[in-house]
């Protein structure tokens, strides 16, 4: 059997991408994963495509040191703003979170309207609407930015919190009147508020979680390339962050579903130097 025992690189603006890692580890328990969280520059969701692309390029260049067989852009904002540019610049398979989520939304909606909630930058990029319409033109797509959800999750709030309830009512309830069949959680933080979001949109609307769909895409792509690991040993997760490893460890546990053990701080200087050596 063809196989590839190299690691998979994963990155996010911060901690949210660990929801994707959690799903990847469920489906691919033997793979080694190297994760980078850009906690010194988080969040990306309020920043411009230009800056998000610059940061993403620096991170991919950093991850290349680990000789990955694939890199997963586990951040909706970076997938929406930077993935096409990264695909031009780097010569290895890259998987983002937007296309897998869009594909599942189209499948599940069965021609009925699709709603998308995400960060400001992801909504402004229009990436979800474009991905959905490339699969099924003219299906109605309603998009709504929910900026404070990320901060609420980072702060440790969950679906039972009254601030989260007020936010969900504010952001999500107005989408109800548009009668969507599906609501895409277009940000890796949102699955942690699933219950409050479901309450605000109504139980008849199906929630699509990009994390699950992305993990399935990673599995399918590696399989198609004959690049799954042949190792019988349990895989592992090594994390690098640009700031606050202790905070990452503490909050990361909620995203990953179990303790985040191996976290190393990388200075931004080192990232920027990596970028200077990158192909132009």
Contacts of 158 by beta carbon, 8 Å cutoff, 6+ apart: 164, 192, 193, 195, 196
Residue number with CB closer to a second copy (42 or 98): 42
The answer to whether residue 7 is catalytic is: no
Rounded to whole angstroms, the maximal C-alpha distance in the chain is: 53
* Member of 67, 87, 126, 155 binding a second copy (CB under 8 A): 155
Residue 222, token pair as written in the block? 């590696």
Q: How far is the CB of 178 from a second copy (least distance, A)?
A: 22
Residue number with CB closer to a second copy (54 or 198): 54
Among 29-37, 107-115, 190-198, 241-249, which window interacts with a second copy (CB under 8 A)?
241-249
> Taking CB under 8 A as the rule, does residue 277 contact a second copy?
no
From the list 197, 186, 212, the residue with the least C-alpha distance to 120 is 186
> Taking CB under 8 A as the rule, does residue 154 contact a second copy?
yes
> Taking CB under 8 A as the rule, does residue 126 contact a second copy?
no
DSSP code for 251: H
Spatial separation of the C-alpha atoms in residues 92 and 88, rounded to whole Å: 10
Residue number with CB closer to a second copy (166 or 233): 166
Tell me the three state secondary structure of residue 216.
helix
Among 79-87, 129-137, 166-174, 220-228, which window interacts with a second copy (CB under 8 A)?
166-174
The answer to whether residue 146 is catalytic is: no
Contact 128, 101 (CB under 8 A): yes
Contacts of 165 by beta carbon, 8 Å cutoff, 6+ apart: 196, 199
Size of the site for a second copy (CB under 8 A): 29
Spatial separation of the C-alpha atoms in residues 57 and 271, rounded to whole Å: 10
Site residues for a second copy per CB under 8 A? 39-42, 46-48, 50-51, 54, 147-148, 151-152, 154-155, 162-163, 165-167, 169-170, 242-244, 247, 268, 272
Active site (catalytic) residues: 75, 187
């Amino acid at each position: 059997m063809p196989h590839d025992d190299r690691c998979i690189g994963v990155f996010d603006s911060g901690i949210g991408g660990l929801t994707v890692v959690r799903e990847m580890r469920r489906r691919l328990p033997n793979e080694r994963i190297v994760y980078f969280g850009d906690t010194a520059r988080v969040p990306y969701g309020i920043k411009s495509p230009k800056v998000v692309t610059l940061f993403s390029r620096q991170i991919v260049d950093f991850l290349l040191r680990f000789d990955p067989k694939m890199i997963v852009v586990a951040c909706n904002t970076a997938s929406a703003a930077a993935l096409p540019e990264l695909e031009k610049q780097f010569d290895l398979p890259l998987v983002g979170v937007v296309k897998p989520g869009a594909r599942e939304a189209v499948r599940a909606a069965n021609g009925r309207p699709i709603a998308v909630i995400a960060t400001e930058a992801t909504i402004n990029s229009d990436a979800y609407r474009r991905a959905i319409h490339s699969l099924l033109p003219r299906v109605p797509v309603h998009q709504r930015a929910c900026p404070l959800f990320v901060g609420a999750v980072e702060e440790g709030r969950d679906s039972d919190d009254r601030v989260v309830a007020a936010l969900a009512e504010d952001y999500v309830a107005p989408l109800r009147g548009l009668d969507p069949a599906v609501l895409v959680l277009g940000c890796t933080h949102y699955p942690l508020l699933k219950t409050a979001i479901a309450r605000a949109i109504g139980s008849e609307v199906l929630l699509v979680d990009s994390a699950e769909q992305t993990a399935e895409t990673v599995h399918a792509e590696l399989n198609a390339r004959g690049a799954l690991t042949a190792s019988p040993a349990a895989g592992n997760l090594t994390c690098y962050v640009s700031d606050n490893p202790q905070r990452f460890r503490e909050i990361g546990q909620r995203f990953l579903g179990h303790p985040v053990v191996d976290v190393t701080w990388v200075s931004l200087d080192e990232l920027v130097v990596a970028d200077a050596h990158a192909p132009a």
